């Protein structure tokens, strides 16, 4: 129970601080540390990520950070593609899914490290134009067909990986919103947490209702402490350097990716 509690706390804390990383770290942690099969770890992770995402989204709504129309569109598209991801996962060996995890985590680590590096002032433009722009007057997206298509595509991609890998999708939503929009980091994190909660909640229902799935008794502590970690992360986030958080997240993802590849190659 102690190990499960620690893992849950770490997962919730990372989600609260970054708006991503909960599922992408939780699944390999449950598989490698506790020896849980990935097909059991995925729905357990979805429960923890969904509930923690709800807590984070409520905090973001209270602070006015959630771009709720964008979150609703991404969630709708994700709910459509998530069942497809579940179907794909059922026909793939666990080893393939773990290798896919490792590759995704390596990519996320690389991108996070890039964002953490100091940028030259001669290269960065003050107000870069991006596909999805927020109005400085209203603080909301200036909606157009292009904006809707971009936001919808982010949600659809997130939902596909949510169903296939049992992750919340924040590792796609956060960097995608940062790349394709001028939304501030606090709004990005809060919006991501709302989408995670909605997409994960829709996906987990299908997994838990499956006659082949039984809830492991030792996973309750993992879920409870993930919620505690989320609350701590949301309180601590404004007090920590974004660059430090990016570097820490990048390092953790890189270490997990290497560990997953080594264990999978060894036949574990």
Q: Does 17 reside within a domain?
A: no
Q: Give yes or no for residue 86 having a pLDDT over 50.
A: yes
Instruction: Round to whole Å and give the CA distance between 98 and 31.
Output: 9
Is residue 62 in some structural domain?
A: yes
Question: Which domain range does residue 49 map to?
Answer: 38-115+132-265
Give the predicted TM-score (pTM) of the model.
0.74
Q: Is residue 7 part of a domain?
A: no
Rg (CA), the chain: 18
Please give the average per-residue pLDDT across 228-241, as a whole number.
Answer: 85
Whether 67 maps to a domain, the answer reads yes
pLDDT in tens, 34-70: 888 777 777 788 788 888 888 888 888 888 888 989 9
- Residue 6 in domain: no
Establish if 2 belongs to a structural domain: no
What is the C-alpha separation between 113 and 250, in angstroms, rounded?
A: 6
User: Which of 73-82, 97-106, 237-246 is modeled with the greatest confidence?
Assistant: 73-82
Structural domains of the chain, count: 1
Residue 117 tokens, joined: 């590096």
- The rounded distance, in Å, linking the Cα atoms of 126 and 184 is 14
Strands (E), the chain: none
pLDDT (0 to 100) of residue 166? 62
- How far is C-alpha 118 from the chain's CA centre? 25
Separation CA 253–CA 250 (nearest Å): 5
The pLDDT assigned to 33 comes to: 83
Whether the Cβ atoms of residue 65 and residue 42 lie closer than 8 Å to each other: no
Backbone torsions φ then ψ of 64, nearest 5 degrees: 75, 25
261 belongs to a structural domain: yes
Q: What is the pLDDT of residue 202?
A: 64
Domain-embedded: residue 88 = yes
Distance between CA 87 and CA 70 in Å, rounded?
26
Q: What mean pLDDT do residues 251-264 have? A: 79
Mean pLDDT of the chain: 81
Residue 150: predicted pLDDT = 95
| pLDDT value for 144 | 93
């Amino acid at each position: 129970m102690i190990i499960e509690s620690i893992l849950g706390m770490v997962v919730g804390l990372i989600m609260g601080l970054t708006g991503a990383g909960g599922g992408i770290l939780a699944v390999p942690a449950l598989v490698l540390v506790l020896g849980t099969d990935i097909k059991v770890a995925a729905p357990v992770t979805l429960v923890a990520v969904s509930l923690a995402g709800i807590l984070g989204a409520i905090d973001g709504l209270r602070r006015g950070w959630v771009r709720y129309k964008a979150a609703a569109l991404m969630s709708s598209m994700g709910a459509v593609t998530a069942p497809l991801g579940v179907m794909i996962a059922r026909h793939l060996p666990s080893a393939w899914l773990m290798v896919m995890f490792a590759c995704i985590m390596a990519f996320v680590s690389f991108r996070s490290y890039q964002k953490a590096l100091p940028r030259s002032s001669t290269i960065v433009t003050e107000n870069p134009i991006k596909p999805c722009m927020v109005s400085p007057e209203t603080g909301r997206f200036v909606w157009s067909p292009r904006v809707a298509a971009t936001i919808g595509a982010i949600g659809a991609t997130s939902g596909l990986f949510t169903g296939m890998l049992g992750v919340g999708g924040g590792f796609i939503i956060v960097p995608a919103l940062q790349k394709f929009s001028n939304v501030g980091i606090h709004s990005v994190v809060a919006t991501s947490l709302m989408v995670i909660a909605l997409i994960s909640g829709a996906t987990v229902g299908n997994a838990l209702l499956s006659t082949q799935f039984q809830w492991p008794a030792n996973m309750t502590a993992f879920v409870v402490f993930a919620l505690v970690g989320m609350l701590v992360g949301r309180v601590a986030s404004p007090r920590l350097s974004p660059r430090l958080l990016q570097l820490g997240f990048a390092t953790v993802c890189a270490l997990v990716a290497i560990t997953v590849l080594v264990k999978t190659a060894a036949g574990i």
